[in-house]
Amino acid sequence: MGEAQGWEIAPVAGRAVSRDLDGRLALTLQITRHGDPVACAPLWLTVTEAERVHAALCHALDQEPVPSDAPECRKPIQYPGGRQRF
C-alpha cells in the first residue's frame, strides 16, 4: 500500500477476514518501518464500510487485466446469447 518515511501498512498474507458477533469485519494489517515488522492490527469495518471499499476497489480494478489466480468476482461471467459481463 502506501509508504511515508519508511512506514508501510499492508494486509497480512494468508490471514482471512474475520467477523465479530456484531457482524463487523476485520482485515489484519501489518505495520512495518524500513521493512522491519512493528505491529499487526485489525482494520474493523462495518458491512456498509466493507461494501464501500469493495465497490471502490472494483471500480479501480475495472480496466486492469484479470490475473489467473483472481477471485471469482473478478472473472467474467458468460451469459446465454454470448454476452459477457464482469
Per-residue confidence (pLDDT) for residue 74, from 0 to 100: 79
For the purposes of burial, counting CB atoms within 10 Å of the CB of 6, is it exposed (0-12), middle (13-18) or buried (19 or more)?
exposed
**In which residue ranges of the chain is pLDDT below 50?**
none
Helix (H, G, I), strand (E, B) or coil at 51: helix
Distances (CA, A) of 1 to 29, 53, 70, 77: 11, 14, 18, 29
Per-residue confidence (pLDDT) for residue 63, from 0 to 100: 86
Whether the pTM exceeds 0.85: the reply is no
In the structure grid, which three cell numbers stand for residue 10, read together?
499492508
Per-residue confidence (pLDDT) for residue 36, from 0 to 100: 95
Per-residue confidence (pLDDT) for residue 82, from 0 to 100: 61
Per-residue confidence (pLDDT) for residue 48, from 0 to 100: 96
Per-residue confidence (pLDDT) for residue 85, from 0 to 100: 56
